[in-house]
Structure 1
Amino acid sequence: MSIETQVKLRFLSVDFPVVNFQSDKQLLENQEINIDIEPKVFFPKDNKNHFKIIQEVNISVDEVFNLFIVAIGSFELNDVDDDKMKSHFVNMNAPAIMFPYIRSFISTLTSNLGNVTGTLNIPPQFFKGELKQISEEDIIEVNKK
């Protein structure tokens, strides 16, 4: 019998350093809501086991409102020497793990806006493909938005 060590992917936290909301008029029923999500990954040079997923979320209805959020999830990945497995955790699992927190944040925020938008319930998202890797300078730029 062989025993395999389980990969340790830990979700440490999610922060929302940027939240911009603009509304020109009240949302009406049956208006198309555009959702654009762009996840990226950042690997700090000083700690090879940690990485951050940065998800820029833009939700809008033409000429009604625009909501832009930056969510930064912090993760730790230990005991992974296989690059293919590490890539899978970073590119698919990590964005999927933090997305329910983003959905919850958006629902809570929009429910507190009263009749401006009503509560927005973002549908589940599926993440696939390679995330764009960003630098430390890019992280600083994201926080300025």
Structure 2
Amino acid sequence: MNIKFVEYKIGELKFSPSSQLLENLSNLDSINIDDYLRFTPIFFQNSSKNFVIKFHLEVKTEETSFFELEFLSKFECEQDIDEKFKESNFPIINAPAIAYPFLRAFVSNFFVSSGYYPILLPTYNFTKFKKST
């Protein structure tokens, strides 16, 4: 089955910076991204050849959340999506791994474009979500 990454959209974005908060941020390479990032595949009943990986990223310190993002990555399949595909590794490993670099780039560019130092999200290994058989 041929599958392609089509586009991404920002579903929701909350940004509440404070100069004190952003000055005290440490590099996110040292954190466990599992504490900040969630994702789920979304399949549509009315679109049998498309699906979305919905990422939710919340960057926070102990005191407060200052950046929250819903990032939607759309994929298109050549054939109809069936249950076998939905239960395969592609929606939980491959598709998120393909879309995650776009999320990382968006976050970094957002902070730079907003006049702040970039937040560099660490690389992420999606293979840990592989289903045990």
Pair in the same fold by TM > 0.5 = yes
**What 5-or-longer segments of structure 1 have no aligned partner?**
1-6, 131-145
Do the aligned partners of residues 17 and 110 (structure 1) sit closer, same or farther apart at CA in structure 2, a change above 3 Å counting?
Answer: same
Kept in 2: contact 1:14–1:73 (CA 8 A): yes
More helix by share: 2
**What 5-or-longer segments of structure 2 have no aligned partner?**
none
Query: Which residue does the alignment assign to 1:53?
Result: 53
Matches within 5 A, 1:1-145: 7-24=1-18, 25-28=20-23, 31=26, 33=28, 35=33, 36-63=36-63, 66-79=66-79, 83=84, 87-115=88-116, 118-127=117-126, 128-129=128-129
State the number of aligned residues.
Answer: 123
RMSD: 2.8
Counterpart of 1:18, as a letter, is E
Counterpart of 1:100, as a letter, is P
What percentage of aligned pairs have identical amino acids? 21
Kept in 1: contact 2:108–2:120 (CA 8 A): yes
Do the aligned partners of residues 65 and 84 (structure 1) sit closer, same or farther apart at CA in structure 2, a change above 3 Å counting?
Answer: closer
Higher Cα Rg: structure 1 or 2?
1
Deviations 1:69-106 (A, max 9, x none): 10111112234768268621111111111111111111
Distance 2:11 2:83 in 1: 33
